[in-house]
Amino acid sequence: MTISPDNDNNAEDSMVFIIIGKAYERDGDTEGVDIHVILRAPDDDTAVREALNALAEEGFLEADLDQIGMLTEAPDDEPHASAYQGALEGEVAIIRFA
């Protein structure tokens, strides 16, 4: 018996997401660091959860995630091109902007 997904979020293959936001390394930090997180996940809820876990592993105490979207093709410019390739291989890429 084949079951087809009820919506687009249940596709067979994982999708590559980009999450844009600001992360904070110190308690009471008001400036934060602008970040892009690129990762592969089956749906947007899982993508957000995995992004937050990866940020915590990198020492960020909290994050404000502003936007989430899907990357439908590989970006041309670095560092996003390498991060996209890493996401296809199962990595979670965190791009920091100073």
Residue 26 gets which letter from DSSP? Answer: S
pLDDT in tens, 44-93: 999 999 999 999 999 999 999 999 999 999 999 999 999 999 999 999 99
Sheet holding 93-97, edge to edge: 62-70, 15-24, 33-41, 93-97
Q: What is the DSSP string of 20-58?
A: EEEEESSTT-SS-EEEEEEEEESSHHHHHHHHHHHHHHT
Residue pair 90/40 in contact by the 8 Å Cβ criterion: yes
Domain definitions of the chain by residue range: 11-97
Confidence of residue 27 (pLDDT cuts 50, 70, 90): confident
Instruction: Return the number of other C-beta atoms located less than 10 Å from residue 75's C-beta.
Output: 15
Q: Specify the pLDDT at position 1.
A: 39
Q: Please say if the pLDDT value at position 22 is more than 90.
A: yes
H/E element holding 34? strand 33-41
